[in-house]
Amino acid sequence: MPQKTISISLPALQPWAALTFAISFASGLPAQETPAPPAELAGALYLDAWQIEKEFVVSPLALQQWLDLGITTDSRLSPEERAALKPKIGNFLALKCPVTIQDEPIEFTLDRIHFI
């Protein structure tokens, strides 16, 4: 499907007015026929005096490329299916991004997995 280019000229408006206009204008555009690709894996390390936290932010659909979760872009996960996936996802992520202190590997405890 060919893409349609839309060009508009905005009068000199206050920034909030231009943003409001852009949002209302974009909502009238047709939806994409194919869903956007899943977000890539992101992560962070949090350090304080008492603990080290390792956090991963990833969609189950993005994990599907490394780990067979049996889901597709059309999947709707029930609470039971989410609960069944948590151990599999936790075991997979436990091996990612190893952390060492003075060349000694640190073992982490899985604290939680949230589906948003």
18 belongs to a structural domain: no
111 belongs to a structural domain: no
9 belongs to a structural domain: no
100 belongs to a structural domain: yes
Its domain, for residue 62, covers: 42-105
Q: Over the stretch 53-81, which tens digit does the pLDDT of each residue have?
A: 888 888 888 888 888 999 888 888 899 99
Please give the pLDDT value at position 4: 53
73 belongs to a structural domain: yes
> Does pLDDT of 38 surpass 90?
no
Please give the pLDDT value at position 39: 60
Please give the pLDDT value at position 23: 46
The residue that leads in pLDDT, 46 or 38, is 46
Q: Over the stretch 14-27, which tens digit does the pLDDT of each residue have?
A: 444 444 444 444 44
Task: Report the b/e string of 53-76 with b at 16+ CB within 10 A.
Answer: ebeeebebbbbbeeeebebeeeee
If one counts the domains in the chain, the total is 1
